[in-house]
Structure 1
């Protein structure tokens, strides 16, 4: 049986898809690309924004047209958050949320054998444990994503993720050590620790994120440890100090901002203000010179005035982010913000998004140009293009190098010589 996967959303979703691939392969399924004719298609969905739900529906339509007789399995955050809507998607023969992901192989076999439709979505509950899951091989080949945390209890006014992902729960350190050691044995030199609310790691069991970082840095064979997205207010001074002592730690911090205006942050129910955020960035830059500060920033939130948007734009320029993911607010049914007054029209959101993305591009150019002349260790990817082989520095600057010797999956010292578009160029030292 041939099976294809399609993943939407975050690195946690990507990790979970890789785990599912391993489970199906172990049961004798042949993994193929999603553009191929397959007997089974698995869609791992994202529901952070309304556009994520739209993409899920579009992918279901495409796969059904592509192969009318295939079994289509929908899993992930969309059905978990909106079970009634998911159940009424006619193309999906199997519908599960994130809670019963481990049963997906069983459900696919049943659907193939009987043709029945299976819908199994169980709400998350307080006190549930971390899903036992180990993934040690990845199609990306160069770096390994390791999910160490799931769930969120921050309840921002615009966000449906607490419903989709449930309470905070964390991977035990002994299980994490076992997974990391096997990842290292499989030749991955860099690991990225990821979670739904990564900064909350260990909250329910007396641990902190720094405990997982120090463990990862202690694993022989792993030479780089990187973090996924972080909630700013949960990163303590002690965490920063201890991270700065780890030679393997990569100085790239994705600090979710959402808005650079205090009034907007308050309506969003974020747990910090711009003064706190700026002070945190200063601490990080003091401990990690030339670190990359990246972020997510939302425009057009309910009630956002022109003055509030200008304040957010000005703050983004002031911080000087190395990279910004800019997106427009979309109403999520079931959140507090869905009932807020002052919902903005699409045109206003688009105009503000363009202006914020222009600022993001300008910040990006400044950051990349500041790297020119530096010598950095670069971990190279597997893909070779006309521009050379792409790799990334520890602070995640993309660098293309042309060389006669094979570079893929190796680390070389590189002198950064210039900037081309969204990446740097370099030469081997």
Structure 2
């Protein structure tokens, strides 16, 4: 039987989809990109719009694959089991806790044609998953942590993911060694609350980074999204000792206004965030700071928004994901006063996005003249390859060769839109 997959949401979901596909491949299924007998949909539920997208995706998958078995799994069923169970397009509905039974559930459905809804509570241990390769990718995502204990007032993820659970170091080393043997030069360590890695094992994120950097064949280690307050000076110093660690840090800000951060139940102030950014820049050469910023949070006054806007300009992020607050049923913030109109949220999004684009362009222009090792990933167009520097600057290079998977020195010469342009130093 042929199986295809649709992944919604974050890099953790991408990893989990890959692991599930591997499980099905080992069970005798054939992976495909087109018409399939089984369509796996790995869902996101971070916003109400995410749930809407899940429903749309299910409808489209059913329309395009009318006789296929549709499997819905991931965060949406786990957080909202009753809503997920009501989605009649899905033949099999699983949560985040029992994906090991995926292949058997498909086989059971084939024999009985009885709809299956199986959503179990979160366990206490990290779910065993191994990925050996990522199809058509030059970097590999490796999930090392799951769950979150923070309970930000706007966020449903602790309910979808449970409490913090970490991959044992021995399992991590084994997975990374396999990826290194398969030719992956870069790995990205990911998690739901990545800096919480090891809290349940008596370890820290530094232990995971050191383990990854010690693997032969892997030349770059990159970190996924980070909660900033856990990056103490001691942690930063220990991370800096690992020369394979890429100097790109995605520190989730959400707001540059301390009063807004308090209502969000974030665990730092704007001043503390500024200090962490300063410490990282003082320690890592040519580091890129990227972030997420939410606008229009419940109760965010115009003064608070302007404070956040000024802060974003001051920090001068290399890249910002700007998004408007989405009222999420099941969270405390959904009942907060001061909910604002979509029009106002759109206005604030436009202003913050414009500020972010200015700092993005300034960052890219600052790369001009630098010689950086670029990991080339794909052909962008005829005679042009795209790759990324250690600080995740995208670079386009004109060449008649196939550079896929190679790390080559490039001199950055110009900025074109959202990318830099460079020439191979050998030229």
Question: TM-score with structure 1 length normalisation?
Answer: 0.98
Q: Does the CA-based 8 Å contact 1:377-1:414 persist in structure 2?
A: yes
- What is the SS of the residue equivalent to 2:343? helix
Alignment of 1:305-316 (within 5 A): 305-316=301-312
CA distance in 2, matches of 1:358, 1:56: 30
Secondary structure of residue in 2 paired with 1:130: coil
Q: Which residue of 1 aligns with 2:327?
A: 331
Shift of 1:131: 0.6
SS class of match (1:424)? strand
**Residue 17 (structure 1) aligned with residue 17 (structure 2):** yes
Moved more, 158-167 or 49-58: 49-58
Distance 1:382 1:262 in 2: 41
Distance 2:364 2:383 in 1: 17
Q: Is the 8 A contact 2:383 2:400 kept in 1?
A: no
**What is the CA-CA distance between 1:31 and the residue it aligns to?**
1.2
Which residue number in structure 2 is paired with residue 168 of structure 1? 164
Give deviations 1:179-225, integer Å, cap 9, x for gaps. 11111000000010000000000011110000100111111111000
Per the TM alignment, residue 332 of structure 1 is displaced from its structure 2 partner at its CA by: 1.2
1:188 and 2:184 correspond:
yes
Q: Deviations over 1:375-396 (max 9, x none)?
A: 0000000334147100000000
- Alpha-carbon distance change, 153 to 387 in structure 1, aligned in 2, over 3 angstroms: farther
Other-structure match for 2:260: 264
Give the Cα–Cα distance (whole angstroms) in 2 for the partners of residues 87 and 238 of structure 1.
Answer: 47
Instruction: Provide the residue aligned with 2:92 in structure 1.
Output: 94
Provide the rounded CA distance (Å) in 1 between the counterparts of 2:52 and 2:313. 32
TM-aligned CA deviation for residue 123 of structure 1: 2.2
Q: Deviation per CA, 1:166-185: give whole Å up to 9, x if none.
A: 01010111111111111100
Deviations 1:217-270 (A, max 9, x none): 111111000000000011121111011111111000000000011111000000
Answer yes or no: is 1:218 the counterpart of 2:217: no
Cα deviation for residue 294 of structure 1 reads 0.2
Quote the Cα distance in structure 2 between the aligned partners of 1:28 and 1:425.
44
Shift of 1:88: 0.7
Q: Indicate whether 1:4 and 2:8 are aligned.
A: no
Contact 1:389/1:402 (8 A) holds in 2: yes
Assess if the C-alpha contact under 8 Å between 1:124 and 1:163 holds in 2: no
Match for residue 66 of structure 1? Answer: 64
SS of 2:62's equivalent in the other structure is helix
- Contact 2:387 2:395 survives alignment (8 Å): yes
Tell me by how many angstroms 1:372 deviates.
0.4
Structure 2 residue 295 is the aligned partner of structure 1 residue 296:
no
Structure 1, unaligned runs of 5 or more: none
Structure 1 CA distance for aligned equivalents of residues 219 and 383 of structure 2: 26
Which residue in 1 is equivalent to 2:27? Answer: 27
- Cα deviation for residue 108 of structure 1 reads 1.2
Q: CA deviation at 1:21?
A: 1.0
Distance between the aligned counterparts of 2:143 and 2:335, measured in 1? 33
Contact 2:76–2:84 at 8 Å: present in 1 too? yes
Q: Which residue number corresponds to residue 405 of structure 1? A: 401
CA distance in 2, matches of 1:85, 1:105: 23
Which residue of 1 is the match for residue 419 of structure 2? 423
8 A contact 1:387–1:400 mirrored in 2:
no
- Verify the 8 A CA contact 2:239 2:245 in the aligned structure 1: yes
After TM superposition, list the pairs within 5 Å mapping 1:100-249 onto structure 2: 100-124=98-122, 128-249=124-245
Query: Could you say which residue in structure 1 is the equivalent of 2:53?
Result: 55
Using the alignment, how far apart are the partners of 2:244 and 2:57 within structure 1?
Answer: 39
- Does 241-250 or 183-192 show the bigger shift? 241-250
Partner Cα distance (2:27, 2:202) in 1: 37
3-state SS, counterpart of residue 229 of structure 1: coil
State the 4+ residue runs in structure 1 displaced beyond 6 angstroms: none
Pairwise CA distance, 1:50: 1.3
For structure 2, the 5+ residue unaligned runs are none
- Secondary structure at the residue paired with 2:400? coil
Q: State the SS of the aligned residue for 2:399.
A: coil
CA distance in structure 2 between the partners assigned to 1:67 and 1:247 by the alignment: 48
Query: What is the CA distance between 1:52 and its match in structure 2?
Result: 1.0
